[in-house]
């Protein structure tokens, strides 16, 4: 391979076709081109050089020969900036190292290539970090979905274990409404028939609070009462104490005032101390419980924990 055809073709543009014997002879003949024609001459020479690089391909380049035929500056420029496939960039680095070995003083050329490699490495690092972030986001998303799937599976298992709930039929709903209406009528008659004199009932007692550490009987499981309100009619508390899972409301039952009906209305469960309330109060509570479909219990105990134990046991049996 030689660079003569390139220079010969360029010289032919000016009707000048010398016989070129060597690279040095070719360059000397090229220098004879008039100053005003050199742009056209070297443009044609560069076109031939680029065509040769394209035709041969990066794998067939011979930088040392190009340096002899086309000059070091032109060769360096083309080797450094000529577009090639990314997979062949290692070849470019190899070619540059060959040129640099022959030009040990040209540090600027080497530094320029190092800059190119540094930029390429930086781009790859940015791309790598971006992929890492995407991978972390995907891991987080997968973990979130797995948690949701776990919760959903737990709910499915819980629902599977539960007994199916049978809905009330329309006939049952109609009968309940009729019965509630009937209870309301009975309650009205009860008010009319209620004797004016007071009944002989015991004074409402102060309910007994179990002090911490004094309970001798096994402590009942009151978990089913957690969050509910239990209204006790027929007694009162000297002071409210904590330690129960449910809210407790009391009323002595002697007067059917706003506090009495508020205790019934706020209750989830109604308890009547049958030894300490009048029949009127007992029937009033019973009628309200029937009308509002609330559970009601009649007990003799005045110990709050014992009362709650009875309520919890009955609820468990009904469940």
Three-state SS at 247 = strand
- The answer to whether residues 61 and 197 belong to one domain is no
Query: What's the confidence (pLDDT) of residue 197?
Result: 47
Q: Is residue 303 part of a domain?
A: yes
Q: With cut-offs at 50, 70 and 90, classify the pLDDT of residue 34.
A: very low
- The answer to whether residues 96 and 185 belong to one domain is no
In sequence order, which residues have a C-beta less than 8 Å from that of residue 266 and are 6 or more positions away? 229, 231, 249
Q: Is residue 114 part of a domain?
A: no
Measure the CA–CA gap between 18 and 308, rounded to whole angstroms. Answer: 122
- The torsion defined by the Cα of 167, 172, 173 and 176, in degrees rounded to 10, comes to -130
Q: Is residue 131 part of a domain?
A: no
What is the average per-residue pLDDT within 53-65? Answer: 88
Number of domains in the chain: 2
Tokens of 302: 């005045």
In sequence order, which residues have a C-beta less than 8 Å from that of residue 287 and are 6 or more positions away? 183, 184, 186, 187, 190
- The answer to whether residues 176 and 290 belong to one domain is yes
Q: What is the pLDDT of residues 168-221, one digit of tens each?
A: 677 877 777 777 777 666 666 666 665 554 556 678 888 887 655 455 555 567
Residue range of the domain that includes 56: 4-104
Single residue among 62, 87, 104 that ends a domain in this structure = 104
Query: What's the confidence (pLDDT) of residue 23?
Result: 57
- The answer to whether residues 209 and 306 belong to one domain is yes
- The answer to whether residues 308 and 180 belong to one domain is yes
- pLDDT for 260 beyond 70: yes
In sequence order, which residues have a C-beta less than 8 Å from that of residue 237 and are 6 or more positions away? 206, 207, 209, 248, 250, 304
- pLDDT for 270 beyond 90: yes
Query: What's the confidence (pLDDT) of residue 26?
Result: 57
- pLDDT for 109 beyond 70: no
Q: What is the pLDDT of residues 284-293, one digit of tens each?
A: 888 888 878 8
Most confident segment among 93-102, 103-112, 171-180, 281-290: 281-290
Number of C-alpha atoms within 13 angstroms, CB side, residue 74? Answer: 17
Q: Bridge-partner residues for 271, per DSSP? A: 232, 297
Measure the CA–CA gap between 181 and 155, rounded to whole angstroms. Answer: 40
What is the average per-residue pLDDT within 39-47? Answer: 75
Q: Is residue 96 part of a domain?
A: yes
- The answer to whether residues 97 and 199 belong to one domain is no
Mean predicted lDDT score pLDDT of the chain: 76
Q: What is the pLDDT of residues 232-252, one digit of tens each?
A: 999 988 877 777 888 999 999
Three-state SS at 262 = helix
- pLDDT for 257 beyond 80: yes
Single residue among 78, 104, 130 that ends a domain in this structure = 104
**What pTM was computed for the model?**
0.41
Among residues 313, 264, 314, which one has the least CA distance to residue 292? Answer: 264
**b/e sequence 53-75, b meaning 16+ C-beta within 10 Å:** beeeebeebebeebbbbbbbebb
**CA angle, residues 100, 106, 110, in degrees to nearest 5:** 60
Query: What's the confidence (pLDDT) of residue 31?
Result: 61
Q: What is the pLDDT of residues 284-319, one digit of tens each?
A: 888 888 878 899 999 999 998 889 988 888 876 665
Give the rounded percent of residues in the chain with a pLDDT score beyond 70. Answer: 68
- The answer to whether residues 70 and 195 belong to one domain is no
* Ordered alpha helix ranges (H), the chain: 4-12, 23-31, 38-56, 63-70, 72-81, 89-102, 107-161, 170-193, 258-266, 279-292, 304-318
């Amino acid at each position: 391979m030689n660079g003569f055809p390139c220079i010969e073709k360029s010289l032919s543009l000016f009707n000048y076709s010398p016989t070129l014997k060597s690279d040095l002879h070719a360059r000397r003949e090229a220098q004879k081109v008039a100053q005003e024609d050199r742009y056209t001459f070297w443009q044609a020479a560069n076109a031939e050089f680029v065509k040769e690089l394209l035709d041969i391909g990066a794998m067939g380049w011979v930088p040392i020969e190009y340096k002899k035929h086309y000059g070091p500056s032109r060769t360096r420029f083309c080797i450094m900036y000529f577009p090639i496939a990314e997979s062949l960039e290692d070849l470019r680095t190899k070619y540059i190292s060959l040129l640099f070995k022959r030009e040990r003083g040209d540090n600027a050329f080497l530094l320029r290539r190092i800059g190119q490699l540094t930029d390429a490495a930086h781009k790859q690092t940015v791309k790598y970090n971006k992929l890492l972030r995407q991978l972390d986001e995907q891991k987080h998303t997968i973990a979130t979905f797995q948690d949701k799937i776990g919760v959903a599976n737990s709910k499915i298992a819980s629902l599977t274990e539960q007994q199916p709930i049978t809905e009330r039929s329309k006939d049952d709903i109609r009968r309940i409404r009729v019965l509630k209406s009937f209870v309301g009528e009975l309650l009205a008659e009860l008010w009319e028939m209620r004797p004016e004199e007071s009944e002989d009932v015991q004074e409402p007692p102060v309910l007994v609070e179990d002090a911490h550490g004094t309970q001798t009987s096994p402590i009942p499981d009151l978990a089913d009462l957690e969050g509910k309100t239990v209204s006790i009619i027929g007694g009162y508390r000297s002071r409210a104490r904590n330690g129960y899972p449910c809210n407790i409301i009391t009323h002595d039952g002697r007067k059917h005032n706003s506090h009495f009906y508020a205790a019934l209305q706020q209750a989830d469960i109604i308890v009547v101390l049958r030894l300490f309330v009048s029949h009127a109060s007992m029937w009033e509570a019973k009628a309200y419980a029937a009308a509002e479909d609330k559970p009601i219990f009649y007990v003799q105990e005045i110990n709050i924990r014992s009362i709650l134990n009875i309520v919890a046991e009955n609820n468990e049996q009904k469940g």
